[in-house]
Structure 1
Amino acid sequence: MDFFITLNAKRIKQGLLIVIISFFTAMLFFSQSSVHTSVFSTKNGPKAIYKGEKGIALTFNIGWGDVQAEPILDVLEKSEIRSVTFFLSGAWAESHPQTVKRIKEMGFEIGSLGYAYEDYTELEDPEVRRDISKSLEVFKKLDIKDTMLLRSPTGHFDKRTLSIAENMGLTVVHWSLNSQDWKNPGVEAIIEQANKARDGDIILMHASDSALQTAEAIPSVISKLKDKGNLTTVTELIANGKVKTTLIP
């Protein structure tokens, strides 16, 4: 009788062990699979994408200015690179419809940089929503449809910003490598900084008028990036595999 009880207990322990292992295996599979869903669909709350897994995403912010955007587009056209993402402020887009048309016709991806280039962390919720909505309205008038990406205008954001963006169906995109081109540190310095990029990086550059040296740096930047991996848009980077996100306290 004692032998039977001992044997039965061993079987129960073995069964429990199998159940526990199966449970954690299922959890691991689920967690890995869920990476490929929206980065906002986690119990920890909304997040901002700052890095991917495969490819390198070259991104340009345009918040203001009348001079630098066209020369930068000229250089990109000569390089025959189309896998680039532009984040445009609504106010700039509204006053430069022909340049926006050119960006669109060249096949570049377009995301929102808000409308008035304000710091969202200093605005009330309704003001943030209004600024984003205003930019999307401008985009629609310029025949830019289904905008899915948002970059916080000044690069500053908080949980409120992320929640508002999520509710508006937008993915907030930050960056993992800042080229510092807006500081005009010298063409070689911009090239050297961008050359630090690795597979999965999202690179921040500018086509606003503060970026006086960017157009000259782009050919070398692109040449060096091509040697490191495929140049992709942000959307392609997200679709290519896992994405890294940042939590805001």
Structure 2
Amino acid sequence: MRSVRRMTVITLLAAFCLALVFAATGQPQVLAAEKEKKPTAIYKVDTDQKVVALTFDISWGNKVPDPTLDVLEKEKVKKATFFLSGPWTLRHPETAKRIHEMGYEIGSHGNLHKDFSNYPDSWIREQVSIAERSIQQVTGVKPTLIRTPNGDFNPRVLRCLNQMGYTVIQWNTDSLDWKNPGTQAIVNRVLKRAEPGDIILMHASDSSKQITEALPQIIDGLRAKGYQFVTVSELLAQAKVQSKVE
């Protein structure tokens, strides 16, 4: 019994000493802060401003990308964000350059179109680095935003990408254009779901056969509701400014 009591006293004293050390160094606060810093993906930003980010993924094809750019040019949409895959960028350098020359923001859509969560960090780093070099080689842009293939990720993937200096961008409104449900279905879905600070997912790959017909109506409909178009980076910057003001 004496030995048990002695151990109990020693344990309590050790805990008390640790508490004193933490109180002096502020370590509990540091640990709490680190615990709160969980890797996250961005779906939208909280804002009262009527702004949205139109985003387009491109992984394959040469029939839809340029007509999509033609629509944006005709509708005088100056701000949009394109997530380009590495292989597509190398296969279609002129279109990739056109995206950059039109002033649109360029992010990465990875290299091989496979779910990152199924692979180790070393594979993710390799694939993202390959895509980064391809995009930079063709457009001169070193992307800092990434939308993972299929939007797939988990906390480990997010942490790996954050460590590489990337911000992972998801979406709040999915047009489902890749399902080709009909032009009006795509338009109605976006106009019904879009809200201030939204990131809207669309595709400019050849798999999205109806986006060029739907896009003018989406643009007109959002403008009629008072929305302005910004890049994803501008959306994130606005959120940071608001958080500083608050």
Interval of TM-score (by shorter of Structure 1 and Structure 2): 0.7 to 0.9
| Corresponding residue for residue 189 of structure 1 | 185
CA drift of 1:74 comes to: 0.8
Instruction: Say if 2:40 is the partner of 1:47.
Output: yes
CA drift of 1:170 comes to: 0.7
For 2:156 and 2:59, the matched residues in 1 are separated by 22
| Corresponding residue for residue 240 of structure 1 | 238
CA drift of 1:242 comes to: 5.7
CA drift of 1:228 comes to: 3.5
Residue correspondence of structure 1 range 214-233 to structure 2 within 5 A: 214-226=211-223, 227-233=225-231
Unaligned runs of 5+ in 2: 1-33, 242-246
Query: Number of residue pairs matched?
Result: 203
Segments of 4+ in structure 1 off by > 2 A?
41-44, 143-146
- The letter for the 2-side match of 1:126 is S
Unaligned runs of 5+ in 1: 1-40, 244-249
CA drift of 1:114 comes to: 0.3
Task: Kindly indicate whether the alpha-carbon contact (under 8 Å) linking 1:181 and 1:213 is maintained by their aligned counterparts in 2.
Answer: yes
String of CA shifts for 1:56-91, please: whole Å, max 9, x gaps.
011000011121111111111101102100000011
Give 3-state SS (helix, strand or coil) of 2:171's partner.
coil
Q: Supply the RMSD in Å over aligned alpha carbons.
A: 1.5
Task: Kindly indicate whether the alpha-carbon contact (under 8 Å) linking 2:106 and 2:141 is maintained by their aligned counterparts in 1.
Answer: no
TM-score (norm 2): 0.79
Task: Kindly indicate whether the alpha-carbon contact (under 8 Å) linking 1:48 and 1:173 is maintained by their aligned counterparts in 2.
Answer: yes
Task: Kindly indicate whether the alpha-carbon contact (under 8 Å) linking 1:179 and 1:194 is maintained by their aligned counterparts in 2.
Answer: yes
CA drift of 1:241 comes to: 1.9
For 1:42 and 1:223, the matched residues in 2 are separated by 44
Task: Kindly indicate whether the alpha-carbon contact (under 8 Å) linking 1:91 and 1:115 is maintained by their aligned counterparts in 2.
Answer: yes
**Equivalent of residue 132 in structure 1, options 122, 128, 131:** 128
Judging by fraction of residues, say which structure has more helix: 2
| Corresponding residue for residue 206 of structure 2 | 209
Instruction: Say if 2:152 is the partner of 1:156.
Output: yes
| Corresponding residue for residue 96 of structure 2 | 100
For 1:65 and 1:135, the matched residues in 2 are separated by 17
String of CA shifts for 1:117-138, please: whole Å, max 9, x gaps.
1110111111111110000011
For 2:38 and 2:209, the matched residues in 1 are separated by 39
